[in-house]
Structure 1
Amino acid sequence: MLIFGRICIGKYQMWIIAKIVTFTLYVEKTTIAVYRVVFCCGGVRAKIQSPSQFLGYQLGTQFTYQYRIAEYFKYVAAEAKNVKLLQYGSTNEGRPLIAMFIASTENIGKLDEIRKNNLALAGLPDSHIATAPVAAALNPVIVWLSYNVHGNEPCSSEAAMQTLFDMVDPDNANAKNWLKNTVVVIDPCLNPDGHERYVNFYNSVKGASPDINPAAREHAEPRPGGRVNHYYFDLNRDWARQTQKETQARVGLYNSWLPQIHVDFHEQGYNAPYYFAPAAEPMHKDITAWQKQFQTTIGKNNAKYFDQNGWLYFTKEEFDLLYPSYGDTYPIYNGSIGMTYEQGGIGAGLAITTRTGDVLTLKDRIAHHHSNGLSTIETASANAAKAVQEFKKYFDNTRTKPDGDYKAYVIKSTNEDKLNTLADMLRRNGIQYSYGVKETASGYNYFTGKTEQFNINTGDMVISAYQPKSVLMHVLLEPNTFVADSVTYDITALVVTLRLWLAGL
């Protein structure tokens, strides 16, 4: 029972909000039977509710609708002093796209200054900083956690709520320590329309309790399924081309920050153990030694907690770093440590029997993603200065001594409409370009496969490699991609399509 009022003991008075249980109070040698009060003094906020407390059910016992996920984030934004909630867009069906920024109480009030300093470290012209940026070692490391880009991989959105709670819980000393030098961004659901398509399906066919038989109807989602967005597009293949509304909004926000670390939380087939970095071959040759090394550092810390809990996992075997439009590779080609985390669970519902005879539950899946989210933040904080310094070094190199065989690309202006479309895509990705002046140059001809002289006209597009986004530019435009391993997780369709499309200019 809660009460609000004023308690008087002799000449002392106190306004209180109190929870009542009985106890005996001794005042001036007089025994008085009163109620024990747990004080919440005026001006002090009540303890922030966990997701389970706020939602009214234990996390993992049912799937949470996207509007309720958004409500929890709004609730935390209203209660916690060290967060900032941003709606950065909306879906085709009108659902909000949101991101929560979490920092120390000192840093939360200067988020835009941190953002601009971070862009200045990358040498980007839109950082709007007239003076030199702060030293790299003084800027916090930025960790960006993205959940549920595939709507029928929904456990990650549930984990996002728990991770948010742990980062703002006043009793969490670890989180307070991490936030001294870390800014955390949580995007709880990249694909709300797909998420709702899956949750609505599951709730329409489930029984009073989960059916763990894999042949049960609740484990057979009908087409088109929740993986894709409103237009049935796979948003995890769209980071670079940005054909979809959700992607354009998300990548626009991402490029206005350029975090040092980005994690894309997924699910895979429910019979698979958990996957986290380091990634498999093939890796693009422009991925730096530091990016590979720090993937391993983070993976080892993840493994420590999985080992403590007896959870199965694997690394390196399957998910490579080549195709440029994933939630791990796109950040990598933009100077980040990009990683995919894959929890077994597609089609698992609330519980399912795996081929080993074990029962995999939604609670299990949430726990695994939650553990790795916190582990990644912990590792980032422990290596914050080094991560930011390497970030600056990465962009110093792209601007002054870019990798690759080609120092510039020239796109002929034979088709103005397509050239304008290409310009829009480059601009959305922060890739700088200009238009040529009349001169003669020598270069590799994509059509003949030979090096030869050609004329540059004033309407031709010229893209220099000496720029912050040099690596991404090379990956998208290089005529041939070196592949160290003959087996890749997915096709490099974006690059092939772009080259064929450019051939038609």
Structure 2
Amino acid sequence: MKPLRTRDAIIAVIGLAACVPILARTTLNSPRTRAEATGFRETSRYADVIAFIDSLHDRPLTFGSIGKTSEGRAIPYIIASYPQVSTPDEARALKRPIVYVQANIHAGEVEGKEALLALVRDLSAAPRPNVLDSIVLIAVPIYNADGNERFASQSVNRTEQNGPELVGVRANGQGLDLNRDYIKAEAPETRASLVMFNTWDPDVFVDLHTTDGSYHGYALTYAPPLHPSAPLGPYAR
């Protein structure tokens, strides 16, 4: 990635994050996510996510599926940009950062799923110009769809997390942690996401997680691209 493009991508992500509290104060809240509709006591099931996405089909967004889970569920994506794009070539022709945001890789960590749905909803209805005039946003709100459907009490599936009442599990339908599968690519979800990465070649990849309590030295943590066949010595410390 060229230095200028790197700088633009970082600025775009900061701008995207800054949009969240601003849009939260607006009235651009229809349709509502299941979390919003229940006072954040509940999180969306797979059917809720699909219904929410279907309700956005009258907006200038591009919809599709990156592939299917091991249990056959389609993994939806939404592409948001002004002007609207539907192919990697169209996105690259705009000469702006492509930002790929993925949520729910661990399906007990539900906040990213709900936030990403609300973000796409609000940005696609917000006054222009807005951040969608500066980036191409690819949103994958329910990556681990099978794990999402393993609903159980939060006290069972996420023992140290403060709600919601029922949440999914960390593993996918094969019992694999998708966040540990990017090298061996054993899961169909992983293989589907790798096709998306290679096809769209995003400048920024954001993988949304939820902590149930930990100490970090910084409010924002990030990592540069790393090549899997690079020397391991510098990292084995």
TM range (shorter): 0.7 to 0.9
* Larger Rg, first or second structure (1 or 2): 1
CA contact (8 A) 2:152 2:166 kept: no
Within a 5 Å distance, the mapping from 1:286-435 to structure 2 comes to 321=223, 332-333=225-226
By how many angstroms is 1:252 displaced?
A: 0.6
| 1:173 alignment counterpart | 127
CA-to-aligned-CA distance 1:58-79 (integer Å, 9 cap, x gap): 4523111121112111211x22
- Tell me: CA distance 1:267–1:55, structure 2 relative to 1, closer, same or farther (3 Å): closer
Give yes or no for the alignment of 1:114 onto 2:90: yes
Q: How big is the shift at 1:271?
A: 5.6
Segments of structure 1 that go 5 or more residues without pairing to the other structure are 1-46, 119-133, 206-212, 280-320, 322-328, 334-471, 487-505
Percent identical among aligned pairs is: 21
d(CA) in 2 for partners of 1:255 and 1:243? Answer: 17
Q: RMSD of the alignment, in Å?
A: 3.4
Letter in 1 for 2:180: R
Instruction: Evaluate the alpha carbon distance shift between residue 271 and residue 60 of structure 1 in structure 2; reply closer, same or farther with a 3 A threshold.
Output: farther
Q: Are 1:202 and 2:153 an aligned pair?
A: yes
Residue from 43, 49, 61 that aligns with 1:83? 61
What's the secondary structure of 1:262's corresponding residue? strand
- Give the TM-score of the pair, scaled to structure 1: 0.37
Distance 1:66 1:275 in 2: 33
2:203 alignment counterpart: 260
Q: Distance in 1 between matches of 2:61 and 2:161?
A: 44
How far is 1:269 from its partner? 2.3
Give the total of aligned pairs: 207
Inter-partner Cα distance in structure 2 for 1:231 and 1:242: 13
CA distance in 1, matches of 2:85, 2:109: 34
Match of 2:76 among 98, 104, 107: 98
Matched, 1:158 2:158: no
The aligned residue for residue 49 of structure 1 is 30
Letter in 1 for 2:65: Q
Question: Is the aligned partner of 1:247 residue 2:190?
Answer: yes
- Give 1:266 shift: 0.5
Please tell me whether the aligned partners of residues 147 and 160 of structure 1 are also in contact (alpha carbons under 8 angstroms): yes
Greater RCO structure (CA 8 Å; 6+ sep)? 2
User: For residues 106-159 of structure 1, what are the alpha-carbon distances to aligned partners after superposition, in whole Å with 9 as ceiling and x for unaligned?
Assistant: x315644324xx4xxxxxxxxxxxxxxx6xxx5121111110101111121111
Structure 2: where are the runs of 5+ without partners? 1-27
**Aligned equivalents of 1:214 and 1:87: distance in 2?**
33
Cα 1:114–1:242 shift into 2, 3 Å? same
Q: TM-score, normalised by structure 2?
A: 0.73
How far did residue 97 of structure 1 move? 0.3
In structure 2, relative to structure 1, the CA distance for the partners of 1:152 and 1:272 (3 Å cut) is: farther
